[in-house]
Amino acid sequence: MTSDYLVDLIVLLAAAVIVVPACQVVKLGAVPGFLIAGLMVGPAGLGLIDNLTEIRHLAEIGIAFLLFVIGIELKPSRLWQMKRLVFGLGSLQVLLTGMVFTAIAYYVFDLPSRAVLIIGPALALSSTAFVLQLLSEQRLLRSTYGRTSFSILLLQDLAVVPLLALVSLMEMPSLNLGGDIGFALVEALIILILVILTGRYFFHPILHRIAQTKIPEVFTASAILIVLGVSLVAEHINLSMAMGAFMAGMLMSDSSYKHQVVSEIKPFRGLLLGLFFMSMGMSLNLNLLFEKPWLTLGLVLSLVILKVVILFPLVCLFGLEKRKSFAVSIILAQSGEFGLVLFAMASESEIITAAVHQQLLLVILISLLITPVLSNWANSILAKNKSDDDVPVEKVPKSAIVIAGFGRVGHRIGEILNQAGQSFVGIDVDAAIVDQARSDGLPVFYGDVCNQSLLDSIGAKEASVIIITLDDLEATKLIVSTLRAANPTLSIYVRGHNSAECIELQTLGATEVVSENIEASLELARMGLSAINVDDQERERVLQNYARRYYEQIKRAIK
């Protein structure tokens, strides 16, 4: 019945609202919070929800959105800049750790060969969502420690693609293991080629046409349609929704619309991803932990120790000092959310048994729960040997400027900044303006400047200066008030038509406002005075005094 689904939804939302903030307070993080919330309302807890099938199907969309965002971030130019750490260190970590866990699963636990080919590499993965969240909160992403950790996670995310394909292909009994692996690798290569070709000639023109309608709701619908549509196509060709979403993200990685697309799906991604972790928590079999506590804890401890022992010398081999290498190996010692995805798919495909799946699920979830402890341990190691390179450098440089609105006024400001050798980022909701600016080599992106998520995505939250050039007073007022509430120290410079608008905008939080009427009047007066040969110093004195009195009147009106 519809009411049953409504009750389940209310229970899930209530559990998330109560448990997740509590976990944040005690420094556990959001991911363990969702896991604990799911455990509390699931069959092993209070038993408020026992029908997990429909919830799991809905939760899969959250994973699809996560893979989509990761695909957007993995554009070829970014990978090439980090190629040594990503493809060198990251590849060695996944291959060596995966081989060790595969061998243990096969020779020690006597699991089938088809199962260990998934279990080994899946356990080698770490939690991208959790680790990046911790590094971001601690503002360590730009440190050597953070960059190295991120590079390894980046390669692990890439490794998910052939692993997802391998799980899908293993459902086909006609293929042998060698054929499965070889076909998965070839398929991944073909996907990357198709991403480059299709992304250039298909998605950008479609989004351009949609953007020209200037209807925000249609753009939001198109963003969701891209993710779910490509995911559905992938599922119909015997791949997974997650792989399809990753492909869609790669298609968008070089688009000027990517920031707006990400900001549109961000609320859906966060909510549905939380639902996925809650569904995993609801699936947790606590009886197994109570029946075999030492086995479970021993497996978790072995997982952490082995990952540290394998990764530590590899990081040292790539030139990091021992303390930083040890910290990197510790923060990545847990298993990750993609392990949950891969094992869930493998269990549904009967590649691994339900009992093995429950044991693996328990090990991963406990390893996720202890991640905050691992993070604190890593930070204590770094604190003993603090160097300039470890100082957080998360903020946009002080010279960075965001231009909100890149029409005629914004474009001229951009040209002036370029000539001054200063960096900037532009945003505009007019697709034609964005395309023209990008064809000129300017860093301008499509998006609604009133969207706080978009502003955060392109760095507006951390920038030192925002210049707002919109010709829409209401939109400008909304942006000024939003930015000022988010950052009290931000310098916000705005254009206004007259003194009334200037007063209103400065009241809302603008640092300085330029009146178009008075500036035009001053320039015309300067030309007139020059034409009748008024002394230059006298002319500038009169003009400056007039402008000063005008803007002082505005400031007095605010007080």
In whole angstroms, what is the distance from residue 115 CA to residue 351 CA? 6
| Longest CA–CA separation in the chain, Å | 99
Question: Is residue 495 a contact partner of residue 513, using CB atoms and an 8 Å limit?
Answer: yes
Question: Is residue 473 a contact partner of residue 495, using CB atoms and an 8 Å limit?
Answer: no
**Closest Cα partner for 105 from 294, 354, 360, 429?**
360
Q: What is the pLDDT of residue 79?
A: 61
Instruction: Please give the order of strands across the beta sheet that includes 491-496.
Output: 444-446, 424-428, 401-404, 465-468, 491-496, 512-515
For residue 491, the cross-strand partners are 465
SS3 455: helix
Buried residues in 304-323 as b, exposed as e (16+ CB within 10 A): bebbbebbbebbbeeebeeb
In whole angstroms, what is the distance from residue 305 CA to residue 207 CA? 48
Q: What is the DSSP letter of 7?
A: H
CB-based burial label for 48 (10 Å; 0-12, 13-18, 19+):
middle
Please give the helix or strand (H or E) that residue 444 lies within, else none: strand 444-446
**Closest Cα partner for 366 from 301, 462, 436, 274?**
301
Q: What is the DSSP letter of 459?
A: T
Q: What is the DSSP letter of 559?
A: -
Q: Which residues of the chain have pLDDT under 50?
A: 1, 177, 387-399
The pTM is what? 0.61
In whole angstroms, what is the distance from residue 202 CA to residue 435 CA? 15
What domains does the chain contain, in order, with CATH numbers?
1-384 (1.20.1530.20), 401-557 (3.40.50.720)
Question: Is residue 219 a contact partner of residue 260, using CB atoms and an 8 Å limit?
Answer: yes
Q: φ, ψ for residue 27 (rounded to 5)? A: 70, 25
**Closest Cα partner for 449 from 535, 54, 433?**
433
Q: Fill in the amino acid letter for 435.
A: D
In whole angstroms, what is the distance from residue 234 CA to residue 245 CA? 8
Q: What is the pLDDT of residue 219?
A: 76
- Interhelix angle 53-73/2-25, rounded to 10 degrees, is 50
SS3 491: strand
Q: What is the pLDDT of residue 114?
A: 84
**Closest Cα partner for 252 from 223, 272, 228?**
223
